[in-house]
Chains A and B, each alone.
Chain A
Amino acid sequence: MGRDTLTGSRIRERRLILGIRQAELARKAGISASYLNLIEHNRRRIGGKLLVDLAQVLGVEPSMLTEGAEAALIASLREAAADSGLPVAELDRTDEFAGRFPGWAEVLATNHQRIARLERTVETLSDRLTHDPHLAASLHEVLSTAAAIRSTASILAETGELEPEWRDRFHKNLNEDSLRLAEGSRALVSFLDESDSSAERRGVPQEEAEEFFLANGYHFADLETGQATPKSLVASAPQLISDASRMIARSALEQYQGDAALMPLAALQEVITSEGIDPARLATHFAAPLPVVLRRLGVLPADILGQDAGLVICDASGSVLFRKPVTGFALPRFGASCPLWPIYTALLRPGVPLHRSVVQQGRSALGFDCLAVAWDHEPPAFDRDPLYHAVMLILPRREVPEDAQPVGASCRICPRRACPARREPSILKEEF
């Protein structure tokens, strides 16, 4: 999607952030509200004096509206502002900052992501200290032995006259306990070492897996042709450092392999060229379940699919298991996303395919077609409750349809006012 086509979206986003009503902006710029509406939905090209006027009312350089900055960069900067905990006075000028100093903005955004990653690592490690039973048992063993040694040693050192039988007994105890302490501490060290040996840079496993998929463009030609296996791909991936990330990547690749077997690339490409990407028809054509079709389409290279696509897979807790970002649709890196996403609606009605037009608030106000369905990912059985996963295919549209449902990325950086789904205040809201 060309940059110049998004001028209207940027005007809309800027207006929403400032909390100006459409009619008000139109009046100040000397145009009708309906004309502004067309502009904001990228249905009228805009330039010249009108652009200058609108930019003036919105308090930005006209070039900010025509060129803009990457939505993802803006989102990162806003997250950085939110996480800093400091009142950032220039929050409403984030896009201007990103536009005028793209290099610095990138540095700030990258550092913020790095901080978030490190914080997660610290959390993981402290979780381990608290919850890992083996570690707790090892530590307890060492401390108990140290306690025994300390008591015994100080009896020997401090008691003036000690009967020989007692003295011998305590010497024997001391000897036993020091041996136990040596073994216990060695066990503890090797336990800590073992989990550390894989990496000097300990990232979050999901993040490593994501880097691996991103580096491969989410497409694995060798896996499709059978020249590689999930195991061999994982083993040779430099991005997958920890055992946990290898496990995550491997299970995602196994699913990929299964999906590809049901819908082989060559045949799929042929059908897409002749019939387009109607998931329901593809499901019938390949006799493949709908979740398979959506997953398959979501990771197809853009030149085969004919357009960009994003993909999200989550479990019933709403935790994102797999994410392939697409330009303009912000997927939060960590933490909960927007409950209005159709993928969560799909979880409420398992097996029922959902098609929703959505527009993500607070970004470039782009439109997206979201196709979602939830399925029991284990074979059905009478003796257990179903375990649902849901998948959502995200297809960008050029325009925002009138009936598009507003959704967000996550509450903190969402400018939508009076949202019934809001969990926590937005950092943008205070600026209104």
Chain B
Amino acid sequence: MRRRWIKQTGVVGLMSLTACYSGLGDSLGENAGGDAGLDDGDDDGDDGDDGNEGGEDPAQLCSDSDIGATSLRRLTASQYKHTIGDLLGLDGDYAAGFAADERAGAFKSNGSASVGELQVEQYLDAAESVALDATADLDTLLSCDGALGDPCAEDFLADFAQRAFRRPLTPVEFAGVVAVYRTGKDASEGSVQDGLRVAISAVLQSPYFLYHVEFGVPGEADSRVALDGYELASRLSYFLWDSMPDGALFEAVATGSLEDVEGISAEVERMLASPKAKETVASFHEQWLGVDELETSEKNAELFPEYDVALAASMRADVAAFANWVISEQDGRLETLLTANVTLSEDPQLLALYGVELPPGHVSGTPIELPAGERAGLLTMAGVMAKHAHPDATSPILRGVMLRQDILCTQLPPPPPEVDNVPPSPDPNATTREQFAQHTADPACAGCHQLIDPLGFAMESYDAIGAFRTTENGKPIDNSGEVIGADISGTFNGGVELSALLTDSASVQQCVSRQWFRYALGRIESPDDACAIEGIHEAFEAADFDVRVLLRAIVLSSAFRFRKGAV
């Protein structure tokens, strides 16, 4: 690898900021995510090297490197919902009552904690309901030439169980499923329908359905074990579709075409072209930018009477639709994600907030231009601004922290424990910026807040529900900002100029690589992932930061195709 490789790139510039840096050092030293940053400071003219020239296998480039450990994860609620949909054609949200998913960083992954009785009972309840609905009309579930009897039911179960487990069953496992079918049937006077219902319920409560079980190919070295074809197919489909593999992917496993780079790449292209990929693009951006829980954010009804759950849902959908438009219909580039001045929303309420109307003759799915100079892509979208704000006021600090931590991947220490970190109450005679400027004048706070606040101040043009504004309490908005302690520096005005600056930041580009890596693997990167992440990022950079190339590079990496050690 030609790239120079240093630790903590994102924070080198902070070394002079003593108060904040000492905290950062501590924090990063122990943090798994800290060591995997990439230096992109060199300019050695290797643009065009996508890490995969001549069909070279990116995983081979890291063949003597470790990879980070992926722990056993359960399906997330949305993976459960989508998988039930693909398995049985049921579109109910059977996971709606599940305990909330655990996250790794910003992303839901269910990899850190064990389940308790409550969650296992929730699985039982959901499985019974799915099984009941699936068997309500047997004609839509299975087709039996001739009589509905055991052979036909067992044929169905054979197919169903291996799709549910995402792999072929052993004879002993299948005999277990059939035994449940027989018991269920016998308990209700020979009803095939009841037998199938009980068997489906059992399969859906098996750990092979509920967990991403990965053993790898037996016999390989302990440090690095290749996933088998079915395990890789599941990683692919849950990454790119947020759901189980389809028939074509299972077929690719069976024919061995997932065993080489060309075969995997072909599947990635096919899968990204599918409408199901929209689920992943939506989930990633919603979780990354925090808008996945926007509907639970409450706003002051007197100040923002137009804000309600429907508008919040539109804001969230706005982020998802915009990201999907860029990635599947435009050039897919990071720059477009951070600069395009359009919305895909058709909600009149949200369009009104943006200061536009649905144009006459509007074709659904086409972008609507937003007022010039007001917005620039993801970071200035109404939902993102509304999420990172208080119920009654903006929060330059919440927004600045979001930009630092989620967009620049800078780990910030928490405020000292004794500090009074209550936001000032809204003051009718001052702008939010004036109040916060006073609030952070304290030298004890300035070490970190000079990194945070000037970024947040640039977003003061967006109020607490994300509407553009030029005045606050009768005073003009000052949206001037400054970025220091990063690989970009300088002053600027407003979110549009800031987004343009961030687009060119190597830290931001690397952060996007890392965030997608976390989403794909369901875990925070570790120092052991350095080689894989380096290769992934080179491919992303060589493609002028086309996210589609990034996703393919992640799939082809050693971290994605192998697991660390034995189970």
| A, B: real partners | no
